[in-house]
């Protein structure tokens, strides 16, 4: 197929809409089920590039959960411990590596992942499909599907679930273009290769990075390549744990990413894992309730609605309890798509127990940022690679 009509563009009044290859060749993807939207295609194509690169960089199956052309989460297939299984609503289950990667990607920010579009690096198996059957999701893109998995997915959303298959061997042309206000912009596509060598220029006193730290810097940095800028990403234990996208200042995207990372850690606190919900509540309602439980700025109206979800009103975590719990997560990685103009981002990162930092470098205040990292005992490398994505 050389062209596919779309119901409308980003919004219902933007008609007509279509996808096609400018060179007239066949599309490298196939719609197996459902009616994809313009935004579905945007999420699918960005998400596929991300998981393809994660698989190539780590050798592990990879998955991402996309919302509005930025990843809410991304991960590789690192086994889940019992605590994470409970936090991800998978208690007592043994699942495949690909399903594990998706569970981690979805678990990074379960509130933002509501209604996501999924990309996975490998053939979709029944375990992955069964997890998806219980999640609110718009669609998936993958290189292949097992028959049973495809059957499960086709029954989702009353048969309307979007399923795309992409040619894993497809390579785009080196030059890409887009039209803005009737004017065409053209550039070399971002074909920068991100591997462990990118993190060899360590500029801090502490120069010791573990293998897990390098893996997590890889995950965070590749994720940034497909995140709307400005962006900062936190990673830990083989997955994204907080992504701040599309902010106008570096400190604001750092704060956003850090707050999401803190929430990810706190979701595993014993008080959270033992919350007693009323019977019959679906997982998205529980996820939203936990999000409110962890907030310090909950309003009286929200509190009244929130407390009715529990058998008994739970005792809130104190700031001291939160800080103590966050301090138990050792070796958190942070990557930034551009340099840190001030040390304030490092100060905020330290509050979330960041140990490893990657950034391009090149600020007039690089020395201040390096000094801040040294104060906190962090390891920071200059990659020399800016990764703006728009």
Task: Provide long-range contacts, Cβ within 8 A and 24+ apart, for 247-250.
Answer: 250/336, 250/338, 250/340, 250/341, 250/342, 250/345
Known catalytic membership, residue 85: no
Active-site residue (options: 13, 158, 282, 390): 390
Known catalytic membership, residue 353: no
- Same domain assignment for residues 149 and 283: no
pLDDT at 115: 92
Active-site residue (options: 52, 55, 67, 225): 67
Answer for the pair 235, 217: CB distance below 8 angstroms, yes or no: yes
Residue 276 sits in a domain of what CATH number?
A: 1.10.287
Does residue 181 lie within any of the structural domains?
yes
Q: Which of 147, 166, 185 delimits the end of a domain?
A: 166
**Per-10-residue mean pLDDT for the chain, 390 residues long?**
89 93 91 95 96 97 95 96 94 94 95 94 97 94 98 95 97 92 94 95 97 97 96 97 95 96 96 92 90 84 79 88 96 97 96 97 95 98 95
pLDDT at 1: 80
Domain assignment of residue 301, given as a range: 270-316
Residue 187 sits in a domain of what CATH number?
A: 3.40.140.20
User: Which DSSP helix (H) or strand (E) runs through 120?
Assistant: strand 116-120
Torsion, CA 233, CA 236, CA 239, CA 241, rounded to 10: -50
Active-site residue (options: 40, 46, 230, 353): 230
Does residue 387 lie within any of the structural domains?
no
Known catalytic membership, residue 67: yes
By residue count, the chain amounts to 390
- Same domain assignment for residues 181 and 139: no
Does residue 388 lie within any of the structural domains?
no
Q: Which of 134, 166, 198 delimits the end of a domain?
A: 166
3-state DSSP call for residue 347? Answer: helix
Active-site residue (options: 68, 89, 123, 196): 68
pLDDT at 188: 94
Answer for the pair 61, 55: CB distance below 8 angstroms, yes or no: yes
Domain count, the chain: 3
pLDDT at 303: 75
Known catalytic membership, residue 252: no
- Same domain assignment for residues 210 and 227: yes
The closest alpha carbon to 217, from 197, 244, 191, 192, belongs to: 197
Q: What is the pLDDT of residues 206-258, one digit of tens each?
A: 999 999 999 999 999 999 999 999 999 999 999 999 999 999 999 999 999 99
pLDDT at 306: 77
The closest alpha carbon to 107, from 39, 99, 164, 280, belongs to: 99
Does residue 390 lie within any of the structural domains?
no
């Amino acid at each position: 197929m050389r062209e596919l009509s779309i119901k409308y563009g980003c919004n219902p009044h933007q008609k007509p809409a279509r996808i096609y290859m400018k060179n007239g060749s066949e599309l490298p993807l196939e719609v197996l089920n459902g009616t994809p939207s313009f935004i579905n295609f945007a999420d699918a194509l960005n998400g596929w590039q991300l998981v393809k690169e994660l698989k190539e960089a780590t050798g592990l199956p990879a998955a991402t959960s996309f919302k509005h052309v930025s990843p809410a989460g991304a991960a590789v297939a690192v086994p889940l411990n019992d605590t994470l299984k409970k936090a991800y609503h998978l208690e007592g289950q043994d699942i495949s590596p690909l399903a594990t990667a998706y569970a981690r990607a979805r678990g990074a920010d379960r509130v933002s992942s509501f209604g996501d579009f999924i990309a996975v690096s490998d053939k979709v198996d029944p375990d992955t499909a069964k997890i998806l059957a219980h999640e609110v999701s718009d669609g998936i893109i993958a290189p292949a599907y097992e028959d049973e998995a495809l059957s499960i997915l086709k029954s989702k959303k009353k048969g309307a679930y979007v399923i795309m298959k992409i040619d894993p061997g497809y390579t785009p042309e080196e030059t890409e273009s887009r039209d803005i206000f009737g004017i065409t912009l053209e550039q070399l596509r971002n074909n920068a290769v991100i591997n462990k060598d990118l993190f060899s220029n360590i500029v801090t006193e502490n120069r010791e990075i573990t293998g897990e730290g390098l893996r997590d810097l890889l995950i965070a940095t590749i994720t940034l390549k497909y995140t709307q800028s400005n962006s900062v990403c936190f990673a830990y234990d083989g997955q994204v744990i907080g992504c701040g996208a599309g902010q106008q200042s570096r400190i604001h995207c750092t704060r956003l990413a850090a707050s999401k990372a803190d929430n990810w850690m706190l979701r595993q606190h014993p008080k959270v894992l033992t919350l007693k919900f009323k019977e019959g509540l679906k997982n998205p309602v529980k996820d939203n309730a936990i999000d409110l439980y962890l907030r310090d700025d909950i309003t009286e109206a929200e509190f009244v609605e929130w407390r009715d979800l529990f058998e008994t009103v739970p005792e809130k975590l104190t700031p001291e309890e939160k800080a103590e719990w966050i301090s138990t997560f050792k070796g958190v990685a942070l990557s930034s798509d551009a340099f840190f103009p001030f040390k304030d981002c490092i100060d905020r990162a330290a509050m979330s127990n960041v140990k490893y930092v990657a950034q391009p470098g090149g600020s007039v205040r690089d020395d201040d940022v390096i000094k801040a990292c040294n104060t906190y005992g962090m390891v920071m490398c200059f990659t020399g690679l800016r990764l703006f994505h728009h």
